[in-house]
Amino acid sequence: MSETTDRLAADEEARALLETLVSIPSPTPEEDECAAALVAFFEDHGREVYRDEVGNVRAPADDSVLYTSHIDTVPGEIPVRVEDGEDGPVLWGRGSVDAKGPLAALAVAAVRTGVSFVGVVGEETTSRGARHLVDDREAPDAVVNGEPSGWDGITLGYRGILQGTYVATSESGHTSRPENNAIQDAIAWWSAVEERFAAEDYEPVFEQVTPKPVAVEGGVSEDGLAVETTMEVQLRVPPAHSTEEVRELADGELGAGTVNWTDAVEPTMQSPRTPVARAFRAAIREAGGDPRLLRKTGTADMNLYAGSWDCPMATYGPGDSALDHAPDERLALGELDRAVAVLEAVAEDLQ
């Protein structure tokens, strides 16, 4: 760590907001109380702020850049506390990393620089907040989406996601019969899908199509006349493919049964040469860091923004993404301080 970052004073305002937000549980869809605290923060700074139809916290202002992150978390109780760490105080609690650390950092930077801000709801499930936002407003000049990247990291790429439900039915019969039942049909289809998208050992995960079953049910029907199977599936889609291409390939492996494809979010890979990426690199270097350009194997609200808005964007925020959803989720407060300083510099650059 450089002398510059060693000297950085504690950002008491950002730390207080983060502790407030983390202390209010907000698992999807129970964001109201935490959203109210975020509204109060903007009101205390004299900013226009309101909740929209789906519950997003919106503070419109200078649209040279929109700062946005999500209010909801996954379930799980982690006692909120501040403990001493190797490099200073550490805040423990659900959401401290994903994504109330980025949310607090972006909110504080937004009130200090006068840029637009939105705290969205529902990111951990259907992204209903981000979906409403892109339908309800014009594109800003630029977007910074809040997710943990580390204070010196900039996330430019995310894989997309294709989700669906496989359904198969077969006549019931004695288990000694050689014909496949619906359960075997489901296994056969999914095995074929996994083989179809099998990756070479050298291929980075970000560049792979990753199939994953997330739930399965099967057995004899209540009336005893059929065997029924349903399987919920997800396929992560790299930027080299579209969700439509992956859907067609998966459908091509069907021998029996049908798939109802329920959602598709396209992958995104932003250029490192956009004004947003350049502003982050300059701000991180100014703060004494060595910028890291990241690609994430998951999917985030930035995918939706990139699919609807033709403007430069990146994802950024304090925290180690390896602690997302983890039972030991925690954020070093010194990292929060540095992230706020970087975000202030980025906003001023883009303004």
Active-site position among 123, 228, 320, 335: 123
What tokens were used for 200?
């070479």
Q: Are 186 and 256 in contact (CB under 8 A)?
A: no
DSSP symbols for 282-320: HHHHHTT---EEEEESS--HHHHHHHH--S-EEEE-SS-
123 is catalytic: yes
333-350 helix and 12-22 helix, angle to the nearest 10 degrees? 110
> Cα separation of 121 and 73, whole Å?
9
72 is catalytic: yes
Q: What is the dihedral of CA 282, 303, 338, 92, to 10 degrees?
A: -160
Q: Are 121 and 31 in contact (CB under 8 A)?
A: yes
DSSP symbols for 338-351: HHHHHHHHHHHHH-
- DSSP annotation of 27 reads B
Active-site position among 11, 72, 228, 301: 72
Q: 216 by DSSP, 3-state: which?
A: strand
Which residues lie below 8 Å from residue 206, measured CB to CB, with a gap of 6+?
157, 159, 238, 295, 296, 297
User: Beta-carbon neighbour count of residue 146 at 10 Å?
Assistant: 33
> Cα separation of 128 and 94, whole Å?
21
**Cα dihedral sign, 95-289-268-191:** negative
344 residue type, one letter: E
Order of strands, edge to edge, in the sheet holding 88-92? 81-85, 88-92, 330-332
Query: Over the Cα atoms of the chain, what is R_g?
Result: 23
Write out the catalytic residue numbers: 72, 123
